[in-house]
Amino acid sequence: MEYDGKGNVVRYRLHPLSVSGAREDPFLDMAISYDDKKNPFYQLGSIIAPYGLPHSYLNSFIYHLSPNNPVSVKYAPTLESKLSYIYNQSGYPIEIYFDDTTHKLEYLEQQ
């Protein structure tokens, strides 16, 4: 994994190992770009059970490791997914848009 200066995962490659144990070319290669707003899922929950996240990329543990929200996920060599957001006054997303899907988020104050 590669990180930017803000601590976001900007590159993730998954390399299979050959029978001899040598690292082969990656079968998964993702480049991720981010907004500058707060990611509500950052450091939240279990990395092995990230249910309810709005994109297949987001269903991986990477989303829990990045403090900002992904706006573009490029899968080498040609596939790209774009995400967009509407934010509340605190800088957290209240709506997430990708493909033809909208996810609405609600935040509850602790009493």
- Name the band, by pLDDT with cuts 50, 70 and 90, for residue 53: low
Structural domain boundaries enclosing 39: 2-107
Split into its structural domains, the chain has a count of 1
Give the per-residue SS3 of the chain: CEECCCCCEEEEEECCECCCCCECCCCEEEEEEECCCCCCCCCCCCCCCCCCCCCCCCCCHHHHHCCCCEEEEEECCCEEEEEEEEECCCCCEEEEEECCEEEECCCCCCC
Instruction: Tell me the pTM.
Output: 0.76
pLDDT digits (tens, 9 = 90+) for 1-40: 899 999 999 988 776 777 787 777 766 788 899 999 999 8
| The predicted structure's pLDDT at residue 61 | 64
